[in-house]
A and B are shown apart, each in its own frame.
Chain A
């Protein structure tokens, strides 16, 4: 009896000492459990419910009726993907090994306003590539043209220096971010800082510190300082379309604040929430907007930013192989350069590359 007591005692002691031993989480394919897990992840972390006026409890009740214990993984994926699409968010996806649910209507439902084949008529084959940028002088070397197709493609400080040096005789610059679906905000800041003259407020950031739909931190002002390398003070036109999304939207959000910059093309796609990720018990990954980036007026730009000059590619120009937006940008930049030249003649000064 005594022996038994002491064995029990030692076992108890061992259990206390090693209470940290936890089981591995087992794969759980239950449609109901995965539905509830996804709903909860969104409920506690998604950041635009109030702004988009989405009643997430009502969504739960509506989709709960569609979830059956007998449904297979493809049917479940379809239901859960549709539930996520209720928030109309390009940063919100369900990712399985066989598919990725998405909401892309923010550009699929609009004119493309960018055709690579037509752009090739301007770039030709002798354009230069630095980092993720393609660049070339257009309009008799009077205008610099840069196409930056992804903020995930790295752009180094040296890349920017050489690009600006290539354009040193140009009167204006076109920075084309059409069809740029975003990437790293580091590159967005790095490029934008080349156009600043002084430190400026560019946006506010906040995040959800709690699980409630409105448990946000106070907006934190974010400032951007001018680069201490080559900067571009001459006229700039940033070209946008509905597929200028996420980090590109943030880039446009900064660039539109600058006096020498004009935004031209179509409204941007938006996507102003930094996405976070989590996962379901069956291993599917979920991505969702978690941290809103507000503009300088503390307003959301989740649904995009309007251009200063709205221009669309016309059917007639498409037939001719012309890009209406690039043509209009060149026209406007040359006109601006002429007016600056006229003004500078009277002031006997000129704007050069700044250090």
Chain B
């Protein structure tokens, strides 16, 4: 628990300078937001659901991914903030096609990146860290007292991104690649062979574990291409996500490759007092 508290403190400390700095405002910093839907392949294995086997379940996954990025005041506007909300649901079958496994995950990620903007024309390189809170389940329809494997993770991640603006025959495009790897965190896992029913009877020792590379390897590789079309911007993408854990004698992997499509908008957000003091900057249909 001490490790958990330290991790929480570390991240809160990273985010602290942002709290005390939103009064003065010059040029409003715009927010880049995209909402994408995706579909792709899913590959699951969980030895709580299929003990003493190495059987993979494969099928499809559908996801919705919302992303927001904004430059913040930190380090003289050289740091940007990224928030990601991902909701996914997948359906899989075993190789013999006799059993189904369904999985669903929701995760929220908050990241800060230092921006290197002068390396090459059109290129921005961002490096930083993020914190992710994730929860979900894998459900096997065939099982008796081990039908569900619940997942809950809090991670600190190393995160890096490259954004490249370029043109093909005067047509402006923006390519982005982002990689994220968790290096420390905490996660929830029952023990091998322990029914969830026992958790209600006081058998909850050791179900929250410190996680790092010794028992968890996860990674996200995220590629997007922004294509301006008429008055809107189309974003197409590809998300490769890996999640592997070996905790409390339970091995799990959740692997996916998803093709994504959605729209991007760049907007300035006014809210609260800023909304009133910047009335000359906008014409509202509501206020």
Using CB atoms and an 8 Å cutoff, list the residues of chain A in contact with chain B.
Answer: 17-28, 37, 40-41, 43-45, 97, 185, 205, 207-211, 217, 220, 222, 274-279, 281-285, 287, 290-291
24 chain-A/chain-B pairs, Cβ below 8 angstroms: A17-B179, A18-B257, A20-B244, A22-B43, A22-B45, A22-B253, A22-B255, A27-B96, A41-B51, A45-B51, A45-B52, A209-B191, A209-B192, A220-B202, A220-B203, A222-B201, A274-B145, A276-B193, A277-B144, A278-B50, A279-B98, A285-B142, A290-B145, A291-B198
User: In the assembly, what is the distance between CA of A21 and CA of B58, in Å?
Assistant: 11
Contact present for A208 and B58 (CB under 8 Å): no
User: In the assembly, what is the distance between CA of A283 and CA of B57, in Å?
Assistant: 11
Contact present for A220 and B98 (CB under 8 Å): no
Which one of A17, A277, A284 lies within 8 Å of B143 (CB-CB)?
A277
Judge whether B21 is part of the interface by a CB distance below 8 angstroms.
no
Using CB atoms and an 8 Å cutoff, list the residues of chain B in contact with chain A.
Answer: 43, 45, 50-58, 94-99, 140, 142-146, 179, 191-195, 197-198, 201-203, 219, 221, 240-242, 244, 249, 253, 255, 257
Min CB distance, B249 to chain A, in Å? 7
Q: Assuming A209-B193, A274-B195, A277-B146, is B242 touching A20 (CB within 8 A)?
A: yes
Closest A residue, CB atoms, query B43: A22
Contact present for B98 and A283 (CB under 8 Å): yes
Residues of A with C-beta under 8 A to B142? 277, 279, 285
Contact present for B198 and A205 (CB under 8 Å): yes
Residues of A with C-beta under 8 A to B253? 20, 22
Closest B residue, CB atoms, query A276: B146
Contact present for A22 and B56 (CB under 8 Å): yes
Closest B residue, CB atoms, query A96: B98
Contacts A25-B95, A45-B193 known; list 10 others, CB within 8 Å: A22-B56, A25-B57, A28-B96, A41-B53, A207-B198, A276-B193, A277-B145, A281-B55, A287-B144, A290-B145
Min CB distance, A156 to chain B, in Å? 19
Which one of A17, A37, A277 lies within 8 Å of B221 (CB-CB)?
A17
User: In the assembly, what is the distance between CA of A16 and CA of B56, in Å?
Assistant: 21
Q: Assuming A18-B240, A24-B95, A210-B249, is B54 touching A276 (CB within 8 A)?
A: no
Contact present for B240 and A17 (CB under 8 Å): yes
Contact present for B95 and A26 (CB under 8 Å): yes
Q: Assuming A25-B56, A275-B145, A290-B145, is B96 touching A281 (CB within 8 A)?
A: yes
Residues of A with C-beta under 8 A to B179? 17
Contact present for A291 and B219 (CB under 8 Å): no
Residues of B with C-beta under 8 A to A291? 145, 193-195, 198
User: In the assembly, what is the distance between CA of A245 and CA of B195, in Å?
Assistant: 19
User: In the assembly, what is the distance between CA of A19 and CA of B53, in Å?
Assistant: 21
User: In the assembly, what is the distance between CA of A283 and CA of B144, in Å?
Assistant: 16
Min CB distance, B104 to chain A, in Å? 19
Q: Assuming A20-B244, A291-B193, is B145 touching A25 (CB within 8 A)?
A: no
Contact present for B240 and A282 (CB under 8 Å): no
Contact present for A279 and B94 (CB under 8 Å): yes
User: In the assembly, what is the distance between CA of A335 and CA of B281, in Å?
Assistant: 90
Min CB distance, B247 to chain A, in Å? 13
Question: Sorted from nearest, which 6 A-B pairs have the closest CB atoms?
Answer: A283-B96, A20-B242, A283-B98, A24-B58, A277-B143, A25-B95
Residues of B with C-beta under 8 A to A208? 192-193
Min CB distance, A331 to chain B, in Å? 38
Which one of B57, B145, B219 lies within 8 Å of A276 (CB-CB)?
B145
Min CB distance, A172 to chain B, in Å? 32
Q: Max chain A CB contacts within 10 Å: which of B97, B146, B191, B255?
A: B146
Contact present for B201 and A205 (CB under 8 Å): yes
Min CB distance, A34 to chain B, in Å? 10
Closest A residue, CB atoms, query B143: A277
Contact present for B95 and A290 (CB under 8 Å): no
Min CB distance, B177 to chain A, in Å? 10
User: In the assembly, what is the distance between CA of A37 and CA of B94, in Å?
Assistant: 15
User: In the assembly, what is the distance between CA of A17 and CA of B178, in Å?
Assistant: 12
User: In the assembly, what is the distance between CA of A14 and CA of B179, in Å?
Assistant: 13
Residues of A with C-beta under 8 A to B95? 24-28, 281, 283
Residues of B with C-beta under 8 A to A217? 191, 203
Min CB distance, B175 to chain A, in Å? 16
Contact present for B53 and A279 (CB under 8 Å): yes
User: In the assembly, what is the distance between CA of A27 and CA of B97, in Å?
Assistant: 8
Min CB distance, B101 to chain A, in Å? 11
Min CB distance, A50 to chain B, in Å? 16
Residues of A with C-beta under 8 A to B99? 279, 283, 285
Closest A residue, CB atoms, query B59: A24
